Amino acid sequence: MKQIKAASLITAIKTPFNAKGDIDFNTYDQLVAHQIQAGVDGIVVGGTTGEGHLLTWEEHLILIAHSVHKYGKNLLIVGNTGSNNTREAIKATQHGFATGMDAALQINPYYGRSSFAGVSAHFNKVLDIGPAFIYNVPGRTGQDLTPDLIEPLAQHENFIGVKECAGNDRIAYYEERGIACWSGNDDESAVGRHQHGSHGVISVTSNIVPGLMRKLMDEPNETLNQSLQPLMNWLFCEPNPIAINTTLMMTGAVSPIFRMPYKALTTAQRAEGLAMLSKLSQDELVGDELNLMADDDFQYSC
């Protein structure tokens, strides 16, 4: 638990696909190698950015097992084994820990949702299995996990902390009470870390500029923080992970293959991102090139 709580930069790693629409493990390994080289502390496997919701459970668990086997000695491996279905979350979490993952990322039941009593019972079931981050992202789930729900859960021995998307005031509130928090919003993460006491960030942006995000978490750097704000905001111009997928394709880091229902950013959106990315040194970016790309360069699989 100490090692997990010491992790200040955890990347929600992208899952790349090959021409057949299957997971491209060779490219995945190259992406993870960039993260290790940049000094990232851990990765979330199959999170929203990793399109866990578009993977079968078999694919999802194989990817977690692959990550543990290859990178468990170098990185903390956090498996996104949450679900809106308690039975599925229990089964996936059990399998994830059986493969050796260090921790789970657990989300509250979404869409169908539940009462706070039901949500609490759901989390206690999965916390009983092993160490877990609780993920609060009301913009996606439609339900804010407020302190009156989180504070009792924090007493569980397997509760690590919260990946919190409700802002730095919430993070400060928790940290003042000894509840560990990681920012779920890249654009707020530096302020959260250095002014509000967060433990760090679980980041989308570190997929493309891991070294810069490492610097941002290690020490206050307002100049760097401000320079990255436009890029961080652009990466969420459409629902995540559309923009980070498109970006990694524009840099040649991954093949230009989407799993539907995701589609590439428009030409105008790509041009906006290209202008921002062009201001960065090539060695700061994951990928060996930088191209606008044409619409028909992208492929789509089901």
Please tell me which residue in 28, 71, 163, 174 is annotated as part of the active site. Answer: 163
Torsion, Cα 262 236 209 245, to 10 degrees, reads 10
pLDDT at 22 over 90: yes
Q: What is the pTM of this model?
A: 0.97
Please tell me which residue in 135, 173, 174, 215 is annotated as part of the active site. Answer: 135
pLDDT at 225 over 90: yes
The stretches of 72-107 forming alpha helices (DSSP H) are: 86-99
Question: Is 163 one of the annotated active-site residues of the chain?
Answer: yes
Confidence of residue 150 (pLDDT cuts 50, 70, 90): very high
Q: Which percentage of the chain shows pLDDT scores above 90?
A: 99
pLDDT digits 0-9 by tens, 233-242: 999 999 999 9
Give me the pLDDT at residue 53, please: 96
CA–CA distances in Å: residue 199 to residues 99, 119, 183, 245, 254: 26, 25, 8, 27, 30
Burial class (CB in 10 A: 0-12, 13-18, 19+), 272: middle
Contact indicator for 39, 216 with CB cutoff of 8 Å: no
Give the integer Cα–Cα distance in Å for 70 and 48: 22
Give me the pLDDT at residue 145, please: 98
pLDDT at 169 over 90: yes
Question: Is 71 one of the annotated active-site residues of the chain?
Answer: no
Which residue ranges form the domains of the chain, and what is each CATH number? Answer: 2-220 (3.20.20.70)
Give me the pLDDT at residue 1, please: 87
Please, what is the average pLDDT of the chain?
Answer: 98
Contact indicator for 93, 126 with CB cutoff of 8 Å: yes
| Better-predicted residue by pLDDT, 73 or 1 | 73
pLDDT at 203 over 90: yes
CA–CA distances in Å: residue 124 to residues 9, 111, 131, 132, 180: 26, 20, 11, 10, 18
Tokens for 178, please give them. Answer: 């000894």
Average pLDDT over residues 170-183: 98
Q: Assign residue 167 a region (left: φ > 0; alpha: ψ between -120 and 50; beta: otherwise).
A: left
Contact indicator for 138, 165 with CB cutoff of 8 Å: yes
Residue 60's nearest CA partner among 32, 99, 108 is 99
pLDDT at 104 over 90: yes
Confidence of residue 138 (pLDDT cuts 50, 70, 90): very high
Q: Per DSSP, what are the bridge partners of residue 258?
A: 300
CA–CA distances in Å: residue 147 to residues 136, 150, 164, 177: 11, 5, 11, 11
Give me the pLDDT at residue 12, please: 98
Q: What angle do CA 83, 88, 93 make, to 5 degrees?
A: 80
In single-letter form, the type of residue at position 82 comes to G
pLDDT digits 0-9 by tens, 28-72: 999 999 999 999 999 999 999 999 999 999 999 999 999 999 999
Average pLDDT over residues 83-90: 98
